[in-house]
Every structure is written in structure tokens, then in C-alpha cells.
Amino acid sequence: MMSETAAYDPLLRWIHWATAALFIAAMLIGLYCGLQPPGTSPRRELLELHKSLGITLLVLAILRVMVRARTIAPPEPRSFGPMVRLASRLNHWALYLILFAMPVTGYMFSSAGGYSLKYFGTFSWPRLFAGDKAIAHNGEIAHDTLAYLVYVAVGLHIAATLWHALVLKDETLARMWPAAGRSKPQP
């Protein structure tokens, strides 16, 4: 009998791909804005979009951890050796860290620094650290420093997926693909 590929929970898979699309957009906009002088257009307008995407990503990250905690992740493919297992786990932990740390540090910077916190041009998020210069400064340093971890971790994550899908041709991508597989561990 042909064995089906063990896959992540279907809701987790959808959250993963929604996150991937929004995250890559937020990352590229942030990268572009970081290279433009403050106060100029279109940096100002793009940063509004960047922040709204960032807060949306925080909501998705919270939802994702809740789904992840109450579902069973498939065991790593049997073809993964100990080094590949370790690299994959470290990469996933780094991505989970980033998914929370980037929105939180961005919010610290914008909220304490007195910058706009409008959500897609509608309401404004509450300003929890208003006027606290140390929080604004630390938030900015942490956000800009963690951006390097973002580029490395996301770059390696996508490169590894392409390697598994196109060169090794194993089941790694199918485990996360929305339409494929079943959400049960391998027998």
C-alpha cells in the first residue's frame, strides 16, 4: 500500500502560507524604507503599510502557536540525518522568535517614539509606552538588529525548501502544502 505523506494540521498550513506572503511583503517594504531618509515620501506611506502588516502578522503568530499547541506536528522525514534535523529545528525556532520579536520591537519603537500607529488607515492602536525614550531607542535598535536575523533565517528557510523540492525531491514541501497529505503522524 502506498503511504501518504504526513502533514501539518490544515489550519496551520493555511496560516503558514498567509504568514509567508505577508511576512515577505513586510520584510521587503521594511528593507526599502530603511534605505530611505526619514520623513520622505513614499517611505512615510509605505511604513504605514509595513506597520499594519506587522501587527497582522503578530495576530497570525498568536493564532498559529495556539493551533500548533493543540495539534500534532508530523515527525521529521526519515531521510533527515541528525545534522539536518538540528538545522531544521534551529531554523524553525529562529522563525518563531522573529514572528513575535519583530512586531513587538516595532511596536515599542513606534508607540514610545510617538509615530503613527494607524491600522490600514482606520483606527489607531493604543500607545502603551507613550513618551518613554529608552523604550523607543531600545525598540529601534532591536528591530534594526533583528532584521539581519530575519534576512538570514528566511533566506535559509526558502533555500532549504527549494533544495528539498527541486534537488532531493523529498516530501518536505508536501508536509506544508495546503492541498496535500494528511494531518497525522507517520505510522
CA distances from 178 to 11, 84, 127 (A): 9, 24, 37
175 binds ligand HEM (CB under 6 A): yes
Through-space distance between the first and last CA atoms of the chain, rounded to whole angstroms: 13
**What is the 3 state secondary structure string of 110-123?**
HHHHCCCCECCCCC
119, 55 in Cβ contact below 8 A? yes
CA-based nearest residue to 146, from 112, 98, 110: 98
95 vs 135, beta carbon nearer ligand HEM? 95
153: cell is: 533565517
154 binds ligand HEM (CB under 6 A): yes
42 binds ligand HEM (CB under 6 A): no
34 binds ligand HEM (CB under 6 A): yes
Report the nearest approach of ligand HEM to the CB of residue 131 (Å): 16
32, 46 in Cβ contact below 8 A? yes
Q: Which range touches ligand HEM (CB under 6 A), out of 127-135, 140-148, 179-187?
A: 140-148
Residue with cell 507613550: 130
98 binds ligand HEM (CB under 6 A): yes
135 vs 154, beta carbon nearer ligand HEM? 154
Report the nearest approach of ligand HEM to the CB of residue 115 (Å): 6
**Rounded distance between C-alpha atoms, residue 14 and residue 178, angstroms:** 6
160, 105 in Cβ contact below 8 A? no
Q: Footprint of ligand HEM on residues 67-86 (CB under 6 A)?
A: 68, 73
144 binds ligand HEM (CB under 6 A): yes
99 binds ligand HEM (CB under 6 A): yes
| Interaction site with ligand HEM (CB under 6 A) | 16, 19-20, 23-24, 26-27, 30-31, 33-34, 47, 50-51, 54-55, 57, 68, 73, 88, 92, 95-96, 98-99, 102-103, 106-107, 109-110, 140, 143-144, 147, 150, 154, 157-158, 161, 172-173, 175-176
